[in-house]
Amino acid sequence: MPVNPELVGREFPPTAPYLVGREKVREFARAVFAESPQHFDPAAAQALGYADVVAPPTFAMVIQDLTLQQLLAEPDSGIELSRVLHAEQRFRYTRPIVAGDELTARLSVTAIRAMGGNAMVTSDAEITDAEGAHVVTATSILLVGEGEK
């Protein structure tokens, strides 16, 4: 089944709120070799003007991943995880993610481009805080193979 072009513009519900924990921020920072004290020490983060420890920039992927799961769960998407390659990733920040944030993401598929038998699927996750203010927009481009006919 090819990727369904009608995914572009489809409305998706916001993801369930994700509460960013201090220990999760520390765990993620260690995993990506991010060594700044602002990720580990609340006092260091507060000295920079943040309420609590600051997540490394690519932590936004953890939230965006919830939207990619929504996309894969669409019964008519034509996208199977085993045929997906992550081709490109971008983040556009209003502010960094901080422990204590309660984040929701809204998925939109902005482009599907055929490339031979494959498709390049561009999707945005607009990530907002509990007040509804923009935090970061995460954009993934997935290369989806055609698979079996």
Partner 1 sequence: MSAQLTVGDVVAERTVHLTRESLVRYAGASGDFNPIHYRDDVAAAVGLPGVLAHGMLTMGLAVGTIESWLGDTGRILEYGVRFTKPVVVDPETGADVTVVAKAGAVDEGTARIDLTVSCDGVNVLVKAQVRVRVD
Write out the residues near partner 1 by the rule CB under 8 A. Answer: 24, 27-28, 30-36, 38, 48-50, 54, 56-58, 61-62, 65, 81-82, 85-93, 95-96, 139
CB 6 within 8 Å of CB 19: no
Give the whole-angstrom CA distance, residue 78 versus residue 74: 8
| Measured CA distances, 64 to 15, 40, 115, 149 (Å) | 9, 23, 25, 30
Closer Cβ to partner 1, 35 or 102, answer by number: 35
* Residue whose CB is less far from partner 1, 76 or 85: 85
- State which residue, 86 or 113, has the beta carbon closest to partner 1: 86
Sign of CA dihedral 94, 97, 100, 106: positive
Q: Least separation, in Å, of the C-beta of 2 and partner 1?
A: 21
Minimal distance, residue 6 CB to partner 1, in Å: 27
Residue burial 113-134, b: 16+ Cβ < 10 Å; e: rest: eeeeebbbbbbbbbbbbeeeee
Q: Which is nearer to partner 1, 10 or 42 (CB)?
A: 42
Smallest separation (angstroms) from partner 1 to the CB of 3: 19
Give the nearest distance from C-beta 145 to partner 1 in angstroms. 11
